[in-house]
Homo-oligomer: A and B are copies of this chain.
Amino acid sequence: MVCDRGFRIKIINGNTNETMTAGIDAAAQAVRLPQTKVVTVQPESGPESIECFYDEYLAIPGILEQIALDKDADAFILACWGDPGIEAAREMTTRPVVGIAEASLYIANMLAAKWSVVTTTHRVRDMVEKTVQKTGIRDRCASVRTTDLAVLDTNHRDATLEALTIVSQIAIAEDGAEAICLGCAGMSGLDSQLEKRLGVPVIDSVAAAVKLAESLIGLQKLTSKQMTYRLPELKTVKAYPVHLQPQWLRQ
């Protein structure tokens, strides 16, 4: 007997920008299994785009809210390279949570000896390096390279493709990258074109996360509640709505 039931995956764009949500959804729909239903949303609160630690931290409550309010999804995907708030998301539910950053690194690790992450503004390099470090995979990362595109600039597809091409070529030639991870959800959908130009595997992080979320569901695995990812302890979270009170998560 094989695993054939339908899945429901909820993707949460970390940014409150609808164009980007649509792009993420398209990338996800393009790779999902027939039996998977994908819904892509964006938070009710938070920055239009995540381009620094400040943005990231203000985005997280809205992201977590999307998890708290959903009792149906079989798995969640955090669609912002940085996997913002992922440890908290894992505490909130037993249902698997996949970050697009970690997903892209695992996929890259199976295709290439070394890979680079190519991403947006110069200032996020430290933030992106910390994200790589959070997965535990560091030795295999050839470099983190930045295009200096703003996140919302990625809506300009041709210019984005051009910038990614140039920076990826530098990563390949100078840093020894043998695959490229697209380090921003806004770059989703450009992987095939870029792959043709570069001649190395290019990982669409959103697509990668969809397949890994399907994998976790297929394996019927739930997040460990042994210690670190236990449900938040019961307490008052001042000035937050009822659905973000730990009590809510236990219902």
Question: Which residue of the partner chain, among B52, B107, B235, contacts A91 with CB atoms under 8 Å?
Answer: B52
Cα separation A239 to B59 with both chains bound (whole Å): 11
A8 within 8 A of B: no
Question: Which residue of the partner chain, among B52, B92, B126, B237, contacts A233 with CB atoms under 8 Å?
Answer: B52
Question: Which residue of the partner chain, among B4, B88, B111, contacts A57 with CB atoms under 8 Å?
Answer: B88
Contacting pair A45 B239 (CB below 8 A): yes
Question: Which residue of the partner chain, among B31, B233, B240, contacts A218 with CB atoms under 8 Å?
Answer: B31
Q: Which residues of B contact A179 (CB under 8 A)?
A: 224, 226
Q: Which residues of B contact A218 (CB under 8 A)?
A: 31, 33, 211, 214
A112 within 8 A of B: yes
9-residue interface stretch from A158-166, A182-190, A196-204: A196-204
Contact mask for chain A residues 122-150; partner B; CB cutoff 8 A; 1 contact, 0 none: 11011100000101111110000000001
Q: How many residues of A contact B (CB 8 A)?
A: 102
- A56-96 CB contacts (< 8 Å) to partner B: 56-58, 60-62, 64, 85, 87-88, 90-92, 96
Question: Which residue of the partner chain, among B45, B102, B229, contacts A109 with CB atoms under 8 Å?
Answer: B102
List residues of chain A with CB under 8 Å of any chain B CB. Answer: 1-4, 16, 29-34, 36, 43-49, 51-58, 60-62, 64, 85, 87-88, 90-92, 96-98, 102, 106-107, 109-114, 121-123, 125-127, 133, 135-140, 150, 172, 176-179, 199-201, 203-204, 207-208, 211-212, 214-216, 218-219, 221-230, 232-233, 235-240, 244, 246
Known A54-B64, A106-B106, A215-B215; 15 more pairs at CB < 8 Å? A53-B85, A57-B64, A62-B238, A96-B111, A110-B212, A111-B216, A111-B222, A113-B229, A123-B230, A127-B228, A179-B226, A200-B224, A201-B224, A211-B214, A211-B215
Q: Give 18 CB contacts A-B under 8 Å.
A: A3-B31, A16-B238, A33-B33, A47-B237, A48-B237, A48-B238, A54-B64, A57-B61, A109-B135, A109-B136, A110-B212, A114-B126, A123-B230, A200-B224, A201-B224, A203-B219, A211-B218, A215-B215
